[in-house]
Amino acid sequence: MSELERLLPDQLKNAAVFSGDELVLPYTEALSAVRIATQHHIAILGLEALEVGKEGLLTVGLADASNYITYTDNWVDYVTRMNAEAEHWLSGHRLGENHGYILTSASEKEFGSLPHPRNDRRALVCDGRSLTGIQARVPLCD
């Protein structure tokens, strides 16, 4: 169970259906969950919109703001930007009845344990200065 799921009130969780062990929240509850995440400095890393049908769940939309919002070692700023984008995406994808949303989230601690380039620390030394963790497409040192 994620940190966000532990923080969500039972009223929100009871409105959800499950996809495996993930909560599929109706629109209003999903929006509330994003706001709770923001208050507790938990980033919404991605969203999945699903149609709930007789034969199961069908993905009808995906959002991954991490493609264009990068983490720059300021967790509160990252959470603010990611969650604002999540709210914006939700407001543009209000799908109504028989639909729900999975929110992929991470606290700062959870985020730190994810496999991603941020954890691939490489040190470059230019003129005696260490540039740890910088990934560049062009050479940084001549």
Would you say the C-alpha torsion 76, 1, 36, 86 has a positive or negative sign?
positive
Neighbours of 140 (CB within 10 A): 11
All structural domains of the chain, each given as residue ranges with its CATH number in brackets, are: 3-116 (3.30.190)
Closest CA relative to residue 4, chosen from 119, 88, 82, 93: 82
Entry pTM:
0.79
Q: What was the pLDDT predicted at 140? A: 34
Please give the Cα distance from 25 to 17 (Å, whole number): 7
Pair of tokens at residue 27: 């629109």
- How many residues comprise the chain? 142
Q: What was the pLDDT predicted at 1? A: 78
Residues of the chain where predicted confidence (pLDDT) is lower than 50: 118-142
Neighbours of 131 (CB within 10 A): 13
Please give the Cα distance from 135 to 24 (Å, whole number): 36
Q: What was the pLDDT predicted at 98? A: 93
Q: What was the pLDDT predicted at 131? A: 36
Pair of tokens at residue 40: 């507790």
Q: What was the pLDDT predicted at 119? A: 37
Please give the Cα distance from 13 to 74 (Å, whole number): 30
Strand ranges inside 64-132, DSSP E? 99-106, 125-126, 129-130
